[in-house]
Structure 1
Amino acid sequence: MTTNETTNQEKKHPLFKWLKKIGLWGFLFFLLKGIVWLILGYWVIK
């Protein structure tokens, strides 16, 4: 697989379009939100 084929597949994939739309700050927000929920769930079970 060449580099051009890889970039063409990335452009067509809906996840890449979504990540490009929300940008870095959106990605970090959802990442931190997920981590907080995992910590909260662990704290409740403990």
Structure 2
Amino acid sequence: METNQTPPKKDFRAWLKRLGWAGFFFFLIKGLLWLIVPYLIAKGFF
């Protein structure tokens, strides 16, 4: 059986268009916080 898979780049663009800019920035900020908060905790900032 043969499966037709679309290229990952096309899937990503469709996903991004469906999610919109608000979703993109939400996940961008969330990802940055996942990096920054543990760093600040380790430095004793919190």
TM above 0.5: yes
- Once superposed, which parts of structure 1, at least 4 consecutive aligned residues long, lie more than 6 Å away? none
Larger Rg: 2
Which runs of no fewer than 5 residues in structure 1 stay unpaired?
Answer: 1-8
Unmatched 5+ stretches in structure 2: 1-6
Q: Name the structure 1 match of 2:4.
A: none
More helix by share: 1
Identity of aligned residues (%): 47
- When the two chains are superposed, the root-mean-square deviation of aligned CA atoms in Å is 1.8
Aligned length: 36
Q: How does 1:1-46 map to 2 (within 5 A)?
A: 13-46=10-43
